[in-house]
Amino acid sequence: MDYTLLFRKLREEKGLTLDALARLSRCHRNTIVNVESGRRVRLKTLIQLVQKMGYPSDSDEMRSVLLLYFESITEIPFSRAKTRQAAQKAIANYRSGVKQAAQQLQEEVLQAGLTEDQIGLLRYAVSTRRPLEVISEFRSAVHDLAAQQSEPELKVAED
């Protein structure tokens, strides 16, 4: 089933005409016509219309409309069991990798003997890009200074 057909079916099940849903959602009637005819609409608009029909964000109806919408724009058959299983496997592999990285980070932090304040600073630095840039620049400057100190000092040639 296409998301446009499901959208129309959900609208009709609620007993809403095109005009009634337009009034309810405070949008132009053509917006709803565009959805039902398969013309591109923003995802945000589609979500708001489904919600205005009375379907919560976490409802099966909302999930189905969004799944079919994504199928239409990506041409990936997400609703097919085989595709869904492949996607779930890929997500599980990703989560597994993230979990392993988190465990490794935890081990490194424990081995380093960081204090709670130091861990808090690291969390802030990771969540905010600018501190990481400053730290990188500082590390580069320290490295450059160390390299300069290890170079042999040149002596002035005597006549």
> Which whole number is the average pLDDT over 67-86?
82
Instruction: Please compute, for residue 109, the number of CA atoms within 13 A of its CA located in the half-sphere on the CB side.
Output: 15
Higher pLDDT, 109 or 17: 17
Q: Is-contact 61 10, C-beta < 8 A?
A: yes
The predicted-structure confidence for 3-62, as pLDDT tens digits, reads as follows: 999 999 999 999 999 999 999 999 999 999 999 999 988 999 999 999 999 999 999 999
Confidence of residue 134 (pLDDT cuts 50, 70, 90): confident
* pLDDT surpasses 80 at 155: no
> Which whole number is the average pLDDT over 100-116?
83
Higher pLDDT, 20 or 77: 20
Q: Give the fold, CATH level 3, of 3-74.
A: 434 Repressor (Amino-terminal Domain) (1.10.260)
